[in-house]
Structure 1
Amino acid sequence: MAANNLLRLGFLEASRTIFLACDVQEAFRKSMSNFNTLVLVANRMSAASKILNVPLYVSEQYPRGLGPTTKDFNKENAAITYDKTKFSMATPILLDDLKKQFPNKLDAVVLFGLEAHVCVEQTAMDFRSQNIDVHILADGCISRSQQDRVFALQRLRDIGCHITTSESVLFKLMKDKEHPQFKEISKLVREPIPDSFGFDALSKL
């Protein structure tokens, strides 16, 4: 099957994938009911990025005013952490680094963070416009309003993003129980991420 068809089906190759953590900043904690769940997902993906050798990129929205990434998120192995005022993570700083790291074109991004209907959505739009596959972690994308979050996920699916979960992505990257890092990744997903969608919200997706 052609590579483009495989991407449309949602296949992932670790060597051609990146993780994007969007604006997981302490300033947003009090206004986001699922912020602690997002931090759990962010730490899971950060640990997995090191185990699977998938680059992690971390953005901070206007940190001079909003402060840095929350200390609860261990991002020490991030390829770069960069600030932005643009809502999308696709700034020149990120795009220039990706050109160096992926001269033969990046296949896919795995995206999580906040807010789902603003920075996450606009980041996804920018990468989809470049024909790059986008996997949105529904368990790791939040907004102040659950309504904004749910409708953002609907719109993201409509533009061709894969709406998925952190555990699903990690097993897609491994593909086989015989993967050399299977035991390490299995430890990361031993405890499930708490559900953050009610029945009414799920019925709208």
Structure 2
Amino acid sequence: MLSSMSSPIPGALLLCIDLQDIFLKAMPDAGRLSSRCEFAIEAARLLGIPVAFTEQVPQKLGPTAPQFLKAAAGGTRRKPQQLAKNTFSALADDGIRETLLEKHKVEHLILCGIETPICVYQTALDAINSDLQVTLLTDCLSARRPDDAREALAALIRLGAYALPSETIFYSVVGTTEHPAFKDYTKLVKKYST
């Protein structure tokens, strides 16, 4: 579990799953989801937690929506990592699995994105089965069918995943008003409070 600390979580990575326009348009709460995911991406970047994006068959379905890539870049010219897949679980793709587990040495996946009962669920399940810690940012997930999403989240929690709102997680990383990023983080919270 994430504990209060003044430095980034060792081995953590925020994995944003399939935040592509074609899928966003199908979500009943697309505006809220976009805002909360942008918040999570900016918070992770501010706190030194790496961010990566998966894209479901991007050559057919399009890339990650630009606002998320912009949030991850944070005004730099550095291009965020975009990982194409045709599997529902990101970790079922050998290239993504190698990138995350061997190159980035990920030990803790923080997940946001869509769709909760499909790609998010299968990615989290594979991560748990690979002995990774998994945290699901509950306000940064969505599905076409909310009842299905609730059932999938409940199943993942029973299997050992943590499911909490993004502010809860990132305030746990900040831990104290003495954290060097505290003021910038609270500004970010206010920016995305509406």
TM-score by length of 2: 0.86
Alignment of 1:160 onto 2:152: no
Which residue of structure 1 aligns with residue 148 of structure 2? 148
Q: Which runs of 5+ in 1 are unaligned?
A: 1-6, 195-205
Counterpart for residue 65 of structure 1: 60
Equivalent of 1:95 in 97, 102, 123: 97
1:190 and 1:22 map into 2 onto residues whose CA distance is: 25
C-alpha spacing 1:78/1:172, structure 2 compared with 1 (3 Å): farther
SS state of the match for residue 44, structure 2? helix
Question: How far apart are 1:192 and its partner, in Å?
Answer: 5.8
TM-score (norm 1): 0.82
- Please give the per-residue CA displacement for 1:71-127, whole angstroms capped at 9, x wherever unaligned: 23234366510111000111222322231232xxx3311101000000000000111
Please tell me whether residue 55 in structure 1 is matched to residue 57 in structure 2: no
Q: Name the SS of the counterpart of 2:66 in structure 1.
A: coil
Amino acid of the residue matched to residue 189 of structure 1? V
How many Å separate the matches in 1 of 2:48 and 2:113? 20
In structure 2, how many angstroms separate the alpha carbons of the residues matched to 1:40 and 1:16?
26
CA-based RMSD = 1.9
Q: How does 1:1-205 map to 2 (within 5 A)?
A: 7=1, 10-11=2-3, 13-73=8-68, 74=70, 75-76=72-73, 79-90=80-91, 91-98=93-100, 99-102=102-105, 106-190=106-190
Q: Write the deviation string for residues 144-171 of structure 1: whole angstroms up to 9, x where unpaired.
A: 0111111111111111111101101101
Deviation at 1:191, TM superposition (A): 5.0
Q: Which runs of 5+ in 2 are unaligned?
A: none
The answer to whether the 8 Å contact 2:111/2:136 transfers is yes
Counterpart-to-counterpart distance in 2, 1:192 and 1:51: 14
Partner SS, residue 131 of structure 1? coil
Higher relative contact order (CA 8 A, sep 6+): 2
> 1:109 & 1:71 partners in 2: Cα distance?
22
Does the 8 Å CA contact 1:21/1:113 hold for their aligned counterparts? yes
SS in 2 for 1:144: coil
Instruction: Tell me: CA distance 1:164–1:78, structure 2 relative to 1, closer, same or farther (3 Å).
Output: farther
CA distance in 2, matches of 1:190, 1:176: 17
Once residues 62 and 143 of structure 1 are traced to their aligned partners in structure 2, the CA distance between those partners, rounded to angstroms, is 18
Task: Say whether the 8 Å CA contact 2:35–2:192 is kept in structure 1.
Answer: no
- What is the one-letter code of the residue matched to 1:82? L
Distance in 2 (alpha carbons) for counterparts of 1:28 and 1:186: 30
